[in-house]
Structure formats: structure tokens, C-alpha cells
Amino acid sequence: MNSLVSKVFVYAIAICLSISSSALAGKLSDRIDRFPNWNGAAQVTRHEGELTYPEWFQGQWVATSTLLEQIAPLAPDVVTPGFESNRKYINQPIEFTVQFVPNNPVKAAKFSPLNLPRLKSKLPAPQIVADRAFNGLNIATAYLGAANVLSVKIDPQNSTKQITQLTQDRELEAFVTGFNLETPQPNQFISTELSQQIFRTSSTIYLNVVETTTSYQFTPTPTPSITATQISAIYLSPKDPNYFKTIDKLQSRPVALYKYRLKLVPTPERVK
């Protein structure tokens, strides 16, 4: 497993960035507090559409991601490819640009000129979503190097399906299978996404499930910024020969856990 493939697994887990105050003890909040004692992936209830973000995410940001800790709960019996070589990223900040954009859920609907004025006031407000193609390309370039990334595309039939083409006949395909979110406070946002990932080379296929759970905190002044704790957990696919080694009390235990610190600050163009 060469260094590029090891970086791919770091990149693979990186791609995946109103409730009353009683929700402070919500399920996702509790889950983050229980790290690293996770058994089984997070329970998700939403399986269609995009994960939507608070309005304060809108715009372009310079993101700095720092790996703080990585754990292989089932080592030495089961260890993911590249896990040991990824230790060199601990406490090494990786910087890239991301953006979150409005996405009107009814933009594809067809209206005639006759009824458009009557319906205009009833249209839902645009929702804020991650620009997956823009973000995916910038993250891939930051982690893998521009020379190793050919393209990042979004499936036109599935806005959460991202296909990253790499050199040497390598391809990473990732698509969201479910998500949940919580808003404990106006300036706090917690989300979790489950993604199926397929990494293909000319000779092998590696499948796994990745959970990314993130707690964001927005600071509006003096300069807007977002800080976050992000945890990514990797679970083996049932097709993996080591899958049954991860089963405990009918739940699949994670084979790798990564904890990150994130900070987002406005890009210089946005500050002007």
C-alpha cells in the first residue's frame, strides 16, 4: 500500500463537512461525548435529500482541519489500510477552501407564466447545502496533491454521490445513505452523515461505511468564524472477509476512529 493510497483513505474520511434548548442532551451531542466508546453506527432517520445547514454557513470559507487522535479499536486483529502511515497527519493542519450555497428545493419545478406570480409567495426559502463538487475537489487536492487528482464529479441523478477520479486508475466513489441533524442553540449545529464508500484500483475494490459526526459552533463577531469537533468512524462492509470479526451484540464495531478539530474563517474575498 503506497503513500498515495494511504492518503486516499485520509481524504475519504475528510469528505464526508430549530430545536429547543432541551436538545442540548440530544442523541448526537451524547454520541460525541461518548467518543471513543462507539458500538455501531449512528442511527439515522433521513435517507433522502441533502443535509441542510444553518444560514450562517452560507458563503466561502478557508477551512483548517487538524487530526487530533486516531484509534483502531480492534487492532491488531483488524486494521484499515493506511492506518499506521496516517499517524504522520496527527497535529498537522491541512488547509483548503469550502463553500456552502443556497439550494432551492423546488428549482426544478415547472411553472407557467400565468401562475408563477400567484405561487411565488408560497415558494420555500432556499436551503443552505455544501457545494460537494467544489469542496470535494479542494479537499482532494489538499490531501492528495493536485498532480494526483483528475476530477471530482457529482452524479446528476444523485446530488450526494461524489466520484473522485485519481491517477493510476484509482477511483473513489462515495454516496450518502442517511443523515441526522440537531440545532441545540442558534449558534450551534450538530450533524451526522453515513456514507457508502467504494475505492477501486486496477486490481482491487475496497468497500466500507463511514460515519461523520460533527459539532459546529458559530462565533459572529468580531470576524465570523466556525469551529468544530469532527469524528469519523470507519465500519467494514458485510462483503469484507473481516466483517464478522467486528460484530458485537449484533452491532458492527468501528475499525478506525479519527477525531479532528476544524476551523472555518471567511475567505479574503468575502471579508472585503
pLDDT in 10s for each residue of the chain, 272 residues: 445 545 555 565 555 543 233 333 458 888 999 999 998 888 888 888 899 999 999 999 999 999 999 999 999 999 888 888 889 899 999 999 999 999 865 544 444 444 445 445 555 667 999 999 999 999 999 988 999 999 999 999 999 999 999 999 999 999 999 999 999 999 999 999 999 999 999 888 888 999 999 999 999 989 899 999 999 999 998 888 888 888 876 678 999 999 999 999 999 866 54
pTM: 0.83
Q: Please state, in angstroms and rounded to a whole number, the distance separating the CA atoms of residues 231 and 14.
A: 10
Q: Please state, in angstroms and rounded to a whole number, the distance separating the CA atoms of residues 58 and 102.
A: 7
Q: Please state, in angstroms and rounded to a whole number, the distance separating the CA atoms of residues 154 and 138.
A: 14
The burial of 3, by beta-carbon neighbours within 10 Å (0-12 exposed, 13-18 middle, 19 or more buried), is given as exposed
Q: Please state, in angstroms and rounded to a whole number, the distance separating the CA atoms of residues 94 and 87.
A: 14
What's the pLDDT at 18? 31
Check if the beta carbon of residue 252 is closer than 8 Å to that of residue 227: no
Check if the beta carbon of residue 173 is closer than 8 Å to that of residue 198: yes
Check if the beta carbon of residue 192 is closer than 8 Å to that of residue 26: no
What's the pLDDT at 121? 52
- Counts of helices then strands in the chain (DSSP H, E): 5, 12
What's the pLDDT at 200? 92
What's the pLDDT at 27? 82
**Length of the chain counted residue by residue:** 272
What's the pLDDT at 21? 31
What type of residue is 137?
L
Check residue 202 and report its DSSP letter.
S
Q: Rounded to the nearest 5 degrees, what angle is found at the Cα of 60, between the Cα atoms of 55 and 66?
A: 100
Give the distance from CA 219 to its chain's centroid.
21
Q: Rounded to the nearest 5 degrees, what angle is found at the Cα of 213, between the Cα atoms of 249 and 53?
A: 140
At residue 86, φ and ψ (nearest 5 deg) are: -75, -10
